[in-house]
Structure 1
Amino acid sequence: MTYATVMVSLAVDQPNEARLQVAGELAERFEAAIIGVAAAQFAPPLYFTDGAAAQRLIDEGETSVKKRLAELETQFRGATRNRGGHVEWRGAIDFPARHILEQARCADIIVGGGRSPAFSDAFALASSKDLVMQAGRPVLVVPDGVNWLDLRSALVAWKDTPEARRAVADALPLLRKAKEVTVVEIVERDDDRSAVMTDVTDVVAWLARQRVTATARVSEAGQGVTAAAQLEKVAGDVGAGLIVAGAYGHSRFREMILGGVTQYLINQSARCVLLSH
């Protein structure tokens, strides 16, 4: 298994340097094609207007969107000029999430940004939350402060669920390139620690058969410590530059409500995070 096509989701009027850097590194590491994708939609004003004035306003708005998308394309092509392999751009005047989710069919992995605002502008930004929960592809969330893909140490946040199993399988190309891999499960209050260690050990053995050497670890969150905080502590202990985790949603209404750990990994982690749903 490898990544033959890396897709990078870019945002209008948002920092894109970190995700471009990491997407370019991925394309180089795996000799993959790289596709830049972005979209924006003119956001009409709240006040009422009609007739010629309305049409003029729409025309001016769409011209502005086209200009910003052209600037994004220039930035993308400049960042990928020396990366080698096939380079492609797919921009559109559309709602960003809808356009990018449609293009996800041709990607093996999608690189997006982290730390999205709580109420993001659906006319200009496809949130990583939407991509993770709906794309059907692994999403590598890259915080703005990251300037390279650090694979010296990777942490697999294990939980015996379909989402976690899918995430580990999706991350195999990256885990094979990591120097150190740790598989950890955060023990919850009523968990049997020995049973949890057996589960984690099974994952380590499976990884070994996939040519990934890993170590098993079980960690308990202290009194008043959330699972997300404990996971961050373990990531710091092992010096993880990458966290691999399943993404969990608690709402049947388009998975709009994320689990606490998933929400933390998308919006607050300072590390690259590969998520699969």
Structure 2
Amino acid sequence: MTYATVMVSLALGQPNEARLQVAGELAERFEAAIVGVAAAQFAPPLYFTDGAEAQRLVDRGEASVRQRLSELEGQFRAATRNRGGHVEWRGAVDFPARYALQQARCADIIVSGGPSPAFSDAFSLASPKDLVMQAGRPLLVVPDGIQWLDLRSVLVAWKDTPEARRAVADSLPLLRKAREITVVAIPEPEDDRPAVLGSVTDVIAWLTRHGVTATARVSEAGRNETAADHLGRVAADVGAALIVAGAYGHSRFRELVLGGVTQFLLTQSTRCVLLSH
């Protein structure tokens, strides 16, 4: 398994340098095509008008969006100019999440930035929450400020669920290039610890058969510590710059209510995170 096509989801009005850097690195590492994707929709003002004046306002707004998309395309092409391989741009005046999810069919992995506090998220950027839960592709979340994809130490957050199994399989190309890998399970109080250790041992054996050497770790959260906090502490302990994990949602309505660990991984700002759902 490899990554033949890397898709990078870009956003208007947000920093894109980190995700462009990491997407370019992935394309080089795997000799992959790289596809830049961005969309935005004109957001009408709160107090809107009608008739000819309304149409003029919409036309001006959409023209501004197209101009900003063109500038973003320029940034994308400048960042990928010396990366080699096939480079492609896809941009549209559309709701960003809808457009990015449509384009995800062309990719093996999607690179995105973290969530934005901007009020107009739905009009200007595709939220990583939407991408990971609906794209059907692994999502590599790159926080602003990351300068390179550090694979010297990778932490795999293991839980015996379909999402975690998919994440391990989806991350296999990266794990093969990593120097040190730790597979950690954080048991719930009611879990059978020997069974948890057995499941981690199976993952280590599976990775070994795929040419990947990893270390098992079963680590229990403290009494006043959440699983998310403990996972962050383990990541710091092993010096992990990348965390691999399954993404979990609690709501059946588009699964937009995320679990605590998934929410933590999407919002922390120090490490890259590969998530699969």
| TM-score of the superposed pair, with normalisation by structure 1 | 0.98
CA contact (8 A) 1:6 1:34 kept: yes
CA contact (8 A) 2:144 2:269 kept: no
Q: Structure 1 counterpart of 2:268, which letter?
A: Q
Q: How far, CA to CA, are the matches of 2:115 and 2:66 in structure 1?
A: 26
Q: How far, CA to CA, are the matches of 1:192 and 1:224 in structure 2?
A: 21
CA contact (8 A) 1:6 1:109 kept: yes
CA contact (8 A) 1:182 1:216 kept: yes
Give the Å deviation of 1:118: 7.7
4+ runs deviating over 3 angstroms = none
1:102/1:6 Cα in 2 relative to 1: closer, same or farther (>3 Å)? same
1:85/1:227 Cα in 2 relative to 1: closer, same or farther (>3 Å)? same
Q: Specify the SS of the correspondent of 2:222.
A: coil
Give the Å deviation of 1:119: 5.2
Q: Which residue of 2 aligns with 1:168?
A: 168
Q: How far, CA to CA, are the matches of 1:75 and 1:120 in structure 2?
A: 22
The answer as to 2:10 corresponding to 1:10 is yes
Q: How far, CA to CA, are the matches of 1:234 and 1:204 in structure 2?
A: 18
Q: Structure 1 counterpart of 2:232, which letter?
A: E
Q: Which residue of 1 aligns with 2:19?
A: 19
Give the Å deviation of 1:200: 0.5
Alpha-carbon displacement from aligned partner over 1:60-98 (angstroms, at most 9, x marks no partner) = 100100011001000000000000000000000000000
CA RMSD across the alignment: 1.0
Q: More displaced, 187-196 or 34-43?
A: 187-196
Give the Å deviation of 1:189: 1.1
Give the Å deviation of 1:117: 2.2
Q: Which residue of 1 aligns with 2:180?
A: 180
Give the Å deviation of 1:191: 1.6
Alpha-carbon displacement from aligned partner over 1:15-45 (angstroms, at most 9, x marks no partner) = 0000000000000000000000000000011
Q: How far, CA to CA, are the matches of 2:141 and 2:184 in structure 1?
A: 20
Q: More displaced, 117-126 or 18-27?
A: 117-126
CA contact (8 A) 1:116 1:267 kept: no
**How many matched pairs?**
277
CA contact (8 A) 1:38 1:100 kept: yes
CA contact (8 A) 1:115 1:268 kept: no
Q: Structure 2 counterpart of 1:3, which letter?
A: Y
Q: How far, CA to CA, are the matches of 1:276 and 1:31 in structure 2?
A: 22
Q: Which residue of 2 aligns with 1:128?
A: 128
Structure 2 segments unaligned to the other structure (5+ residues): none
Q: How far, CA to CA, are the matches of 1:255 and 1:276 in structure 2?
A: 14
The answer as to 2:96 corresponding to 1:93 is no
Give the Å deviation of 1:116: 2.8
Q: Which residue of 2 aligns with 1:137?
A: 137
Give the Å deviation of 1:48: 3.0
Q: Structure 1 counterpart of 2:217, which letter?
A: R
CA contact (8 A) 2:115 2:127 kept: no
Q: Structure 2 counterpart of 1:247, which letter?
A: A
Q: Structure 1 counterpart of 2:74, which letter?
A: T
CA contact (8 A) 1:116 1:128 kept: no
Alpha-carbon displacement from aligned partner over 1:81-135 (angstroms, at most 9, x marks no partner) = 0000000000000000000000000000000001432855201011000000000
Structure 1 segments unaligned to the other structure (5+ residues): none
Q: How far, CA to CA, are the matches of 2:255 and 2:53 in structure 1?
A: 39
Q: How far, CA to CA, are the matches of 1:124 and 1:60 in structure 2?
A: 16
Q: Which residue of 1 aligns with 2:81?
A: 81
